[in-house]
Amino acid sequence: MAEAVEGRTRLVAAPSGTAGPGTRDRDTPFYNPAMRRNRDLSLLLLRHAVAHRGRELDVADALCGAGARSLRFAHEVDGPLVVHANDGDPKAVEAVQAAARANDIPADRLRVRHGNAFTFLSERRFDVVDIDPFGSPAPFLDAAVRATRHDGFVCLTATDTAALCGTYPRVARRRYAAHHAMHATPWRAEVGLRVLAVNAVAAAGRHDREARPVWSVFGGHWMRVVLRVRDGRSAADRALREVGHAAVVDGWPQFVSAPPEATRWAGPLWTGALHDADVLEGMAEAVDDAVDARTIRLLDVLRQEADAPAWWVEPRLLRDWFGVDAPRRQRFVDALRGAGFAAAPTHLDPAGVRTDAPRDALHEVLSTAPS
Ligand SMILES: C[S@@+](CC[C@H](N)C(=O)[O-])C[C@H]1O[C@@H](n2cnc3c(N)ncnc32)[C@H](O)[C@@H]1O
């Protein structure tokens, strides 16, 4: 059987994409090495949650595949944790069991189960529910939110990013009940994260529960939104008040309460915070030397984004507006802060800056900032 290593954990799986014509072994389960950053961040979330919970944490990996996530959780997170790994593919389940033996993970720390994710999630509740399907997590949202304990986390991965970014508006409408006509704008992925988030917020509302994002990441071919779930009708109502729409007006996006006449608008979507700074700080404290420098930098940017306004400017937009080149990002952020505005980088664009500076103030700061 194929073996691989991710982080400190051995996997009994082959990296996806390694099976060329004529080489495909139908019995070999695959894992996707390109999702490592997604899994690293999830691992840090669990370390943070274990450190703060003060009791054993039950984690459900409802669609575990070859178990890259479950195995790493069980093997690389210290402290009281039970990982429940489930998949509908018997070969995947065998691979998880074989890898659990290879890593000496005790059976009471990693419980592996073969079955349908919906049945699995209907049987009991967990502190963390992880949904990582092929494509969209939308079909699993109700089951996932319902299976999450009060004050737990529901973690959603989507790989149908083209739909969430509005490339296929009809698919976005079907899967996420969202209008998305902001694909041709720089903010397509921010809209996508907010559309994904609002679907979880709405699913929680159906169960008289509140869901709020604690971090939201666009990784190019995947999106990951993690939400804290809490019981309570008033809390659910409060979260639902942060559901709205976005529209591009005079070249700049803004939240609006109702679908506007504008041609470039999107929604319903989540208008509240995409991240929780405390959770991100806890995750940053949990970093070890298995986490790469890019993930550490990403965490830092997410932490800065947590307190920053929605939407962001980027050099092309600034050139269109003012006919000038933007200074390097950190200089621009510093200049905006120095002028009294909120400013932070965004992980959604390597040159993007989130700011509340109005357009004339931006022009002024640009004309005085060192390049
Ligand atoms: C993208 S893979 C999971 C990858 C894994 N989480 C990781 O990090 O490597 C999706 C998995 O979902 C499983 N699956 C899809 N629908 C399912 C269902 N309704 N019940 C159980 N498993 C399902 C598939 O067998 C597949 O292994």
Helix axis angle, 293-306 to 277-285, nearest 10°: 160
Is the model's pLDDT at 106 over the cut of 60? yes
Question: Residues of 193-219 as b/e, b for ≥16 C-beta within 10 angstroms?
Answer: bbbbbbbbbbbbbeeebbbbbbbbbbb
Ligand 1 atom 21 nearest Cα: 88
CA distance 306 to 310: 10
- Start-to-end CA span in the chain (Å): 55
Rg (CA), the chain: 21
CA distance 39 to 110: 17
Q: What does the block give as tokens for 251?
A: 């070249």
Which tens digits make up the pLDDT trace of 39-95? 999 999 999 999 998 899 999 999 999 999 999 999 999 999 999 999 999 999 999
Question: For residue 283, how far is its CA from the centre of ligand 1 (angstroms)?
Answer: 26
Q: What is the pLDDT of residue 164?
A: 98
Q: Which of 138-147, 157-166, 210-219, 248-257 is predicted least confidently?
A: 248-257
Question: Which atom of ligand 1 approaches the CA of 159 most closely?
Answer: 1
To the nearest 10°, report the CA torsion of 105, 108, 114, 120: -130
Ligand 1 atom 12 nearest Cα: 63
CA distances from 322 to 132, 339, 359, 360 (A): 43, 18, 10, 10
The domains located in the chain, with CATH, are 4-304 (3.40.50.150), 312-368 (3.30.56.70)
Q: What is the pLDDT of residue 321?
A: 94
Is the model's pLDDT at 208 over the cut of 50? yes
Question: For residue 132, how far is its CA from the centre of ligand 1 (angstroms)?
Answer: 7
Pocket of ligand 1 (CB under 6 A): 31, 35, 39, 63-66, 68-69, 87-89, 92, 116-117, 132-134
> Candidates 87, 114, 155: which one to mutate for ligand 1, based on the most atoms within 8 Å of Cβ?
87
Question: For residue 86, how far is its CA from the centre of ligand 1 (angstroms)?
Answer: 8
CA distance 179 to 190: 14
At 129, which amino acid appears? V
- Of 167, 359, 179, the C-alpha closest to 251 is 359
> Candidates 9, 63, 140, 141: which one to mutate for ligand 1, based on the most atoms within 8 Å of Cβ?
63
Ligand 1 atom 27 nearest Cα: 65
The residue among 263 and 58 whose pLDDT is bigger is 58
Question: Which atom of ligand 1 approaches the CA of 116 most closely?
Answer: 20
Q: What is the pLDDT of residue 21?
A: 47
Average pLDDT for residues 334-357, to the nearest whole number? 97
Confidence of residue 253 (pLDDT cuts 50, 70, 90): very high
Q: What is the mean pLDDT of the chain?
A: 95
Average pLDDT for residues 152-176, to the nearest whole number? 98
> Candidates 36, 64, 221: which one to mutate for ligand 1, based on the most atoms within 8 Å of Cβ?
64
Which tens digits make up the pLDDT trace of 285-324? 999 998 999 999 999 999 999 999 999 999 999 999 999 9
Question: For residue 67, how far is its CA from the centre of ligand 1 (angstroms)?
Answer: 9
Question: Which atom of ligand 1 approaches the CA of 66 most closely?
Answer: 9
Question: For residue 154, how far is its CA from the centre of ligand 1 (angstroms)?
Answer: 16
Ligand 1 atom 26 nearest Cα: 65
Average pLDDT for residues 260-283, to the nearest whole number? 94
The residue among 16 and 292 whose pLDDT is bigger is 292
Question: For residue 134, how far is its CA from the centre of ligand 1 (angstroms)?
Answer: 7
pTM for this predicted structure: 0.96
Question: For residue 116, how far is its CA from the centre of ligand 1 (angstroms)?
Answer: 10
Question: Which atom of ligand 1 approaches the CA of 130 most closely?
Answer: 6
Q: What is the pLDDT of residue 259?
A: 83
Q: What is the pLDDT of residue 22?
A: 47
Question: Which atom of ligand 1 approaches the CA of 133 most closely?
Answer: 10
Question: For residue 268, how far is its CA from the centre of ligand 1 (angstroms)?
Answer: 28
Q: What is the pLDDT of residue 270?
A: 98
Is the model's pLDDT at 23 over the cut of 70? no
Question: For residue 117, how far is its CA from the centre of ligand 1 (angstroms)?
Answer: 8
Residue in this structure with the two tokens 């559309």, named with its chain if needed: 195
Which tens digits make up the pLDDT trace of 111-128? 999 999 999 999 999 999
